[in-house]
Structure 1
Amino acid sequence: MDAWEWDETLFAGAAAHYGTGRMPYPPGLADAVRDALGLDGTGRLLDVGCGPGSLTVLLAPLFAEAVGVDADPGMIAEARLKAPGIDWRRMRAEALPAGLGTFRVVTFAQSFHWMEQEHVAERVRGMICPEGAWVHIGATTHRGVETGEPLPLPAPPWDGIDALVARYLGPVRRAGQGVLPGGTKGFEEDVLARAGYAGPERIALDGGRTVERSEDEVVAAVLSLSSSAPHHFGDRLGDFEADLRALLREAAPDGRFAERMRGVEIVIWRP
């Protein structure tokens, strides 16, 4: 397949690795969203492309009801285990509004770039109540940021990890049954402006916190990615993981790493 099209294998097998491999959002994120939007525990939240529910669960206490939707069955299964009290729906964002009603806040985190953006922006706009907001959470949670500052432990050898993935899967980024030679879609803000949203309002949450990560956590981070999800490796998955662990042990024989967490940006749009 030369041009990538969405398919159900995009994150096949990755959901089970999210809880271990993805670093949590900063603790101040929920408070920042609450204060910016004047949330008071009423209204409804819709988290689109919710994955295993990391953001949904964090923000749900700010609302009377929360709904999370994701196209991947493994992600929804993990979310239901994590928080059975939330309404989890397996569906593509393109299928919205799907009779779900209206919402005070609709969130997207590490998800909108996989979607038919113009279509989703238009569908979701009609689901946001007049005083509501579209909230995009810009974050990278599988790896930290390189600052050049000393760390208390070795950093994961991400350049070597990327090279190992390329040795197994080829130099072009994999995604589902296809490849992404040009990466995922950008220009979200242009899409929302054309769809009639007003904004954006930006809130930056500083990173900078140093976290310790284990060998198992780094392995899980790699396998949580669409570009190196377990299904890509087929019957070579065991060989890949063995080579990955050997690479990590070479960098840190005791299996302990440190990374500096990245900052998070909250971007708010009004319908």
Structure 2
Amino acid sequence: MGRFASTVAYYENARPPYGAAFFAAVARELGFNRSQRLLDIGAGPGLLAIGFAPYCSEVVGVDPEPAMVEAARSAGARAGVAVEFIDGRFENLAAGLGAFDGVTIGRAIHWLDPGPARTALDRVVKPLGRILVCHASSVDDGRNPWLGAFKAIRNRGRDDRPKRDRDIFFAGGPFVPRGTISVETAAKFPVERLADRILSMSTSSPERLGDNVPAMRSAMREALASFATEGQILDIVEAQAEVFERAGKQ
């Protein structure tokens, strides 16, 4: 069982959402016209692959966690989009995937082996293709006043691991940053979903927390009660796509 196996039930609905406006803005900015072929690396439950599917001719998602791949296939079927999800590591699959106009990477750069992954990206990205490093997170500028309390609960007993900065990942490779596309959204949801968000993370997964899950849920309800209105929390989320292209591309 992989590190993310026990997070599958929470990942799709509890992570900060990208939102339809994000996918539309990226597609508009980059000129997606339903003729593009897109690859999603570390697809998880298919959030990016499914979101971009209406703007592309073909979308392929790869993920090394079989349970995530199954969740992504189910989500794609519910969404009514045709996305192919493949179980396996991108570095090992690249030779058989073909070439793509776009490659998306969500919160997965730190799971990739930099040397082999850069070589594989050079293989699968077309000469004029782009890499989109995407993430969505609750804004930390005071507009989400509950965020500090959430982080305090999240960090209790958390199994932290070093992060691999995207600039370090791309250093020495053929791809360079070309700008960032950002979209903000706001939505209300039950406080309990923030406990689910903690369980969606590999560093605080149900497998890791074990018997401490009920205590975590109780602590979350207590810590966020004063920020909720009728049990609902307002979450302002910024979704971003950092665009990388080949050096020298005109």
Q: TM-score range by the shorter chain?
A: 0.7 to 0.9
Pick aligned residue for 2:188 from 196, 212, 223:
212
Superposed CA deviations along residues 94-131 of structure 1, whole A, max 9, x for unmatched, are 21314111111111111111110221111121112222
Pick aligned residue for 2:87 from 86, 90, 94:
90
CA contact (8 A) 1:155 1:257 kept: no
Pick aligned residue for 2:120 from 114, 118, 123:
123
Q: Secondary structure at the match of 1:261?
A: strand
**Which structure shows the higher helix fraction?**
2
CA contact (8 A) 2:188 2:235 kept: yes
* Alpha-carbon distance, 1:32 to partner: 2.9
Q: Is residue 17 of structure 1 aligned with residue 14 of structure 2?
A: no
Residue 141 of structure 2 corresponds to which residue in structure 1?
147
Percent of matched pairs sharing the same residue: 27
Pick aligned residue for 1:100 from 83, 90, 97:
97
Residue 204 of structure 2 corresponds to which residue in structure 1?
228
Q: Secondary structure at the match of 1:51?
A: coil
Give the aligned residue type for 1:11.
F
Pick aligned residue for 1:195 from 173, 179, 182:
173
Residue 184 of structure 1 corresponds to which residue in structure 2?
163
Q: CA RMSD in A?
A: 2.3
TM-score with structure 2 setting the length: 0.85
Q: Is residue 157 of structure 1 aligned with residue 136 of structure 2?
A: no
Give the aligned residue type for 2:154.
D
Residue 58 of structure 2 corresponds to which residue in structure 1?
65
Pick aligned residue for 2:219 from 236, 241, 247:
247
CA contact (8 A) 1:52 1:75 kept: yes
Larger mean CA deviation between 29-38 and 92-101 belongs to: 29-38
Q: Secondary structure at the match of 2:188?
A: strand
Residue 71 of structure 2 corresponds to which residue in structure 1?
78
Seen in structure 2, the aligned counterparts of structure 1 residues 262 and 224 have a Cα distance that, compared at 3 Å, is same
CA contact (8 A) 2:144 2:236 kept: no
CA contact (8 A) 1:219 1:244 kept: yes
Q: Give the count of matched residue pairs.
A: 239
* Alpha-carbon distance, 1:190 to partner: 4.2
